[in-house]
């Protein structure tokens, strides 16, 4: 499975996980079978809140799954429309996040658990 994880800074499997999908400066794209990892720049991280384009953010790489700490409704629905499963949870590094999903310890995000807007009285649940 190809898994995308938003990161603060790309350092391979040691990359620190970013708490939010859309505002992450980069993603780590991991093959869960081989544990090979590659960077993907988030060209959409400066978007206006609510206007994240997952396809643009993922630069055309289509993962099977995304692991996030937080995500907005638009991005969640956009990823689902692309057939990409979105899981809630993270771990502090990419390696830990992948270990959690492989162990079956992460659940898919429910639409009621999305971020409601940072700095506008909302936030991630």
pLDDT along the chain (125 residues), means of 10: 95 94 89 96 60 63 91 86 89 94 93 58 42
Domain residue limits, the chain: 2-113
CA distance 33 to 42: 24
Task: Give the closest residue to 51 by CA, choosing from 24, 27, 22, 80.
Answer: 22
- Total-model pTM: 0.83
CATH architecture observed for domain 2-113: 2-Layer Sandwich (3.30)
pLDDT at residue number 44: 57
């Amino acid at each position: 499975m190809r898994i995308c994880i938003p990161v603060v800074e790309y350092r391979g499997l040691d990359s620190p996980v970013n708490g939010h999908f859309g505002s992450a400066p980069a993603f780590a794209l991991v093959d869960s079978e081989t544990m090979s990892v590659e960077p993907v720049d988030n060209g959409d991280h400066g978007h206006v809140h609510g206007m994240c384009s997952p396809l643009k953010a993922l630069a055309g790489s289509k993962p099977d799954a995304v692991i996030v700490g937080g995500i907005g409704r638009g991005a969640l629905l956009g990823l689902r429309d692309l057939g990409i499963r979105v899981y809630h949870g993270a771990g502090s590094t990419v390696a830990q996040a992948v270990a959690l999903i492989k162990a079956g310890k992460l659940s898919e995000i429910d639409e009621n658990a999305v971020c409601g807007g940072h700095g506008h009285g909302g936030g991630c649940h």
